[in-house]
Amino acid sequence: MHLIETRNLCYSYPGSVKALEGINFIAPRNSRIAVMGSNGAGKSTLFKHFNGIFKPTAGTVHIRGEPITKANIREVRKFVGIVFQNPDDQIFAPTVALDVAFGPTNLGLDEETIHHRVEEALRITGIEHIADRVPHHLSGGEKKRVAIAGAIAMEPEVLVLDEPTAGLDPKGVHDLLGFINDLKKKSGMTVIFSTHDVSLIPEIADYIYVMDKGRIVAQGSVAEVFVQTELLRSVRLDVPLYPKLIQSLQEKGIPVEMAFTFEEAETAFLEAFKGRS
Ligand SMILES: Nc1ncnc2c1ncn2[C@@H]1O[C@H](COP(=O)(O)OP(=O)(O)OP(=O)(O)O)[C@@H](O)[C@H]1O
Ligand SMILES: [Mg+2]
């Protein structure tokens, strides 16, 4: 049984063209799934089906093997936490700390647990220093961190992050990567995220879906997807820097092993240049 499974999911916005067509998406337990796609591909629309914000026009969404219904929607929202692309869509409370506490309070947790979760979420997202500020007056990246902290504090089993790094500074991106990679080791939390920053994907993801015009046009491991250079280009996407560089060197007859992450690339280059002065 998969945590999330969509079967032939289709969605049309009222009076508009189809935004999703025949999506078969699976999120296994403890996976890190990246969803790639150019602007308008349907990433955000798909994500909003994962906790019942949108209802499919056709097809189904199953959470832990059960379709989403009115009777289980509260449970589903506890189970699947979403950070929207635009943080203004989910920040309401008068202070940052109260905003982050909103979800855990709604879960009916005791005060000590709420306090602990809020502190931890503020620490992970690096925003302890703005805990008492009015969210409305924060910068874009600060708001993004507040929205992420709010979702983390809920401790959902599936964390869905729509463009989590957009607007974050390099330290913010680095910390978020560290947090997601730590989650894999510490808890069984599953993470689904979208990003236009392709170089981040190999550092986190173990599976990738590529979307274009509401459909899934490719899927597979990092190594399977990022060698499909032509396909990616045809849907206005790019290949990360390391495989791109290595492919170009290989075409010039320089033998460097294919690599996708920083660590893999470092090893591949050291190996290729071993023994040379
Ligand atoms: N509220 C809406 N009403 C009508 N059409 C919409 C609405 N929101 C999105 N769409 C359309 O649905 C399609 C998919 O949009 P979606 O926001 O899911 O794309 P996306 O992959 O998240 O893009 P981006 O990378 O820009 O965030 C687009 O054609 C978009 O114009
Ligand atoms: Mg989007």
Cα of 201 vs centre of ligand 2, distance in Å, is 16
Phi-psi region of 112 (alpha: psi -120 to 50; beta: other; left: phi over 0): alpha
| End-to-end alpha carbon distance in the chain | 54
- Sign of the C-alpha dihedral computed for residues 145, 166, 81 and 88 taken in this order: positive
- Kindly give the pairing relationship between strand 58-63 and strand 207-212: unpaired
3-state secondary structure of 38: coil
**Structural domain total, the chain:** 1
Q: Quick check: is 42 in a domain?
A: yes
The one-character DSSP state at 42 is: S
Nearest ligand 1 atom to the CA of 211 is 21
Nearest ligand 1 atom to the CA of 45 is 18
Q: Tokens standing for 233?
A: 């280009």
- Which of 9, 10, 12, 16 to probe ligand 1 with, by most ligand atoms within 8 A of CB? 16
Cα gap 255→149, rounded to integer Å: 44
- CA-CA-CA-CA dihedral for 166, 168, 173, 179, to nearest 10: -90
Name the one residue in this structure whose structure tokens are 């929207």: 84
Q: Which CATH number characterizes residue 24's domain?
A: 3.40.50.300
Cβ of residue 67 lying under 6 Å from some atom of ligand 1: no
Cα of 184 vs centre of ligand 2, distance in Å, is 25
- Tell me the residue range of the domain where 233 lies: 4-239
Q: Quick check: is 275 in a domain?
A: no
Q: Quick check: is 267 in a domain?
A: no
- The enclosing H or E element of 11 equals strand 4-12
Nearest ligand 1 atom to the CA of 196 is 25
Q: What confidence score (pLDDT) does residue 258 get?
A: 95
Cβ of residue 19 lying under 6 Å from some atom of ligand 1: yes
- CA-CA-CA-CA dihedral for 230, 234, 240, 245, to nearest 10: 40
Q: Quick check: is 244 in a domain?
A: no
Q: Quick check: is 76 in a domain?
A: yes
Q: Quick check: is 257 in a domain?
A: no
Closest to 196 in 3D by CA, of 172, 165, 227, 160: 165
Q: How many CA atoms lie within 13 A of 151 on its CB side?
A: 27
Q: Quick check: is 271 in a domain?
A: no
Residues of the chain where predicted confidence (pLDDT) is lower than 50: none
pTM: 0.94
Residue having the nearest C-alpha atom to atom 30 of ligand 1: 40
Name the one residue in this structure whose structure tokens are 């056709």: 58
Q: What confidence score (pLDDT) does residue 221 get?
A: 97
3-state secondary structure of 63: strand
∠ CA(44), CA(179), CA(184), 5° rounding? Answer: 90
Which whole-number Å values give the CA distances from 111 to 76, 108, 114, in the listed order? 23, 9, 5
Q: Quick check: is 255 in a domain?
A: no
Q: What confidence score (pLDDT) does residue 35 get?
A: 98
